[in-house]
Amino acid sequence: MLVVGAGPAGADLARRLARSQVEVLLVDRLADLRTGAFSSAALPWAALERLELPAEVVASRWSHWQLFGPGDQRRHWASGGPLGVVLEFGALRQWLAQEAGRWGSDLLLGATAHRSEAAPEGMRTHLRLVGGRPIEVISDWVVDATGQERGLIGDPAPGPDPLVEGLGVEWLLELPLERWEPWADRLSFCLGSAWVPQGYGWVFPMQRGRLKVGVCRLLDPARPQPPLGALLASLIERLGLGEHRVLDRHGGLIRSTIGRKEPHRRGRLIGLGDAISTANLLGGEGIRHAMTSSQLLAPLLCQALRQPSLADRLIGASYPRRLRQALGWRWGLSGRLARRTWLGLRGPQADQRLDGLLRGLEHKKRAEDLSALLFDYRFERYGLRALPDLLGWR
């Protein structure tokens, strides 16, 4: 089995397959999985437990929500216990790949896959090593876990459910403890067109004295999209976090269809994680969903290897169906809400609408209710009658 991409989805799949004694080669174009840590990596507490992640990949815990904007508004919800964590994304990838190796998976770093095709002896995948040397790998199956780039499986064909794209940029800041502490135990978001048009900003705590500050904007091909770096710099100034050392600058794209109807396989090439739109656009969040896809695919692949005659049913039908069930019916609603809210956030009228939505949250006394809304997409807690308004159906 060849797994291309050692992100949360691919590395997790490799560890699960290797644990089940499947012969696996996990490859990634990165030469070191701790580098290029582009993701903010905030996760709800339940996901940390479900995915059995160790303390060494956790940078901080949080138990409060804090929302700035629109305008001068500031809202805050606190919980008595931890609501979630922020992961060290590079450490997560490294740990998962190490675990895969401990169970017997092979790991090839610094190798970029270009294409994969059916050959008489199985699937033939063409890779290029750092330095340019080409190699070919023959395997029964190939898993495309290359994230939103969809390096092997490709983008879905144009149609009524196109890819919606968000671009995020984030800086890792180092600051004195007394400046860090007010941000330490909370996820903070900056909302409203005066902060980030067509998107949102955030401040997430990392290890003591470190914060991740970022902005994400949904891409609208019909409008000019000024560079995000300047927007992030001004957000950092406004929050009073300027003049601190920037340890790292990173970012990336999030791309998902809303309906998730794209094919999850092409013959013996299977898509996993962000490569099949498991990233959620509402909060730009996808680690746990990518790992849900690996959790579901691993046993199906093991069975398909034992009983090749069932492969079509297991991989072609059961895999997309189970993944749809696991993500749940609220998935599509959250995507629609994200598209409507973020893409439309361009001026005072949209700010007013967003303010109205947020006012609806003020009567929620508990931070847990906010988590249920933003992580479990339980919009009905808003009140069922508000749903059509939320989604722009009236």
Q: Specify the stretch interacting with ligand FAD by CB under 6 A; choose among 65-73, 272-280, 299-307, 348-356.
A: 272-280
Residues that bind ligand FAD (rule: CB under 6 A) add up to a total of 39
Using the rule CB under 6 A, is 335 a contact of ligand FAD?
A: no
371 is a contact residue toward ligand FAD (CB under 6 A): no
144 touches ligand FAD by CB under 6 A: no
* Number of neighbours of residue 234 by Cβ within 10 angstroms: 15
State both tokens at 16: 């699960």
Helices (H), the chain: 8-19, 45-50, 89-102, 177-180, 228-238, 287-306, 311, 319-327, 330-343, 348-362, 367-374, 387-390
CA-to-CA separations, 374 to 133, 275, 333, 337, in angstroms, rounded: 46, 23, 12, 11
Report the residue number, 5 or 320, with the smaller CB distance to ligand FAD.
5
Among 273, 320, 332, 335, binds ligand FAD (CB under 6 A): 273
Q: Quick check: 99 binds ligand FAD (CB under 6 A)?
A: no
Does 285 contact ligand FAD by CB under 6 A? yes
The nearest distance, CB 71 to ligand FAD, in angstroms, is: 25
Interacting residues with ligand FAD between 243 and 262 (CB under 6 A): 251-252, 254
Which tokens is 335 given? 């995507």
112 touches ligand FAD by CB under 6 A: yes
Rounded distance, CA 304 to CA 284, Å?
33
Q: If DSSP codes are grouped into helix, strand and coil, which group holds residue 86?
A: strand
If one asks whether residue 61 binds ligand FAD (CB under 6 A), the answer comes out as no
The reply on whether position 274 binds ligand FAD by CB under 6 A is yes
Would you count residue 88 as binding ligand FAD (CB under 6 A)?
no
How many beta carbons lie within 10 A of that of residue 40, not counting itself?
Answer: 26
Residue linked to tokens 């770093």: 109
Does 2 engage in binding with ligand FAD (CB under 6 A)?
Answer: no
Q: Which stretch binds ligand FAD (CB under 6 A): 28-36, 51-59, 220-228, 320-328?
A: 28-36
Residue 175: how many CB atoms within 10 A of its CB?
Answer: 16
Residue 44 binding ligand FAD, by CB under 6 A: no
Q: Does 276 bind ligand FAD (CB under 6 A)?
A: no
Residue type, 2: L
Degrees to nearest 5, angle at CA 23 with 20 and 28: 110
Residues that bind ligand FAD (CB under 6 A): 4-10, 27-30, 38-43, 112-113, 145-147, 149, 151, 168, 170, 214, 251-252, 254, 273-274, 279, 284-288, 290
